[in-house]
Amino acid sequence: MGNVIIRYFKPSDRDGVRKICADTSAEIYRKKPKLRECMCNMFVDYYIEQEPENVLVAEDEESGYICGYIVASTNPDKFKEKQKKVYSPMIRKKRLYLGWFNSICAVVSADLDKTYGGGFHINIATDRQGEKLGPKLLTSMGVHLKNKGVKYLYLVTKNRKTRGYGFYSHYGFKEVKRYFLGSLALTFDLSGLEEKIKKYL
């Protein structure tokens, strides 16, 4: 394994990003092609198709292997419109319940965008987890968004028992809102980014 660099997305990265998204989904979704497509439609396709300038990838310099990504939106109105008109209907055609779930998530994201901005999704290839690529990608995206005038990173996680919750809490995210079935909105104030830059970049 070579040195890993964090860089901006290129169109040739599309398949690598989508593969990581599908491969790291829950087992029920990653085994069937149609459900793998749903996961990509839900979590990465909007970003790589509509806001590719807000997509960063982790690339192994030696092999060129895409081993992680982070996506974000800085255009909440476009995000909401495209989810409603393009992505949720696309997903509903494959699995009705996932399409409706995507619609609900888009509404929640739009609500959080009004206050925080900086909504993101991050994933690391299963064979490269544990290499601290998550903090590097997160910090790199924080720098990118802060330069665009965004003040926070935010996401919604299932509950406090997930592995992700522990990771984000350790990074410095704070709970700001509780949703249905125990899901939580977490935010990180980008004014505290300098410490993370020194530590991870």
Using CA atoms, how far residue 25 sits from 35, 84, 124, 126, 191, in Å, is: 10, 23, 11, 10, 32
Residues 41-96 have pLDDT tens digits of 999 999 999 999 999 999 999 999 999 999 999 999 999 999 999 999 999 999 99
The answer to whether residues 36 and 18 touch, using CB atoms and an 8 Å cutoff, is no
Instruction: Count the domains in the chain.
Output: 1
What's the CA gap between 186 and 155, in Å, rounded? 6
Is pLDDT of 159 > 90? no
What's the CA gap between 91 and 94, in Å, rounded? 5
* pTM (2 d.p.): 0.95
What's the CA gap between 49 and 66, in Å, rounded? 18
CATH at residue 190: 3.40.630.30
Which residues constitute the domain of residue 125? 4-200
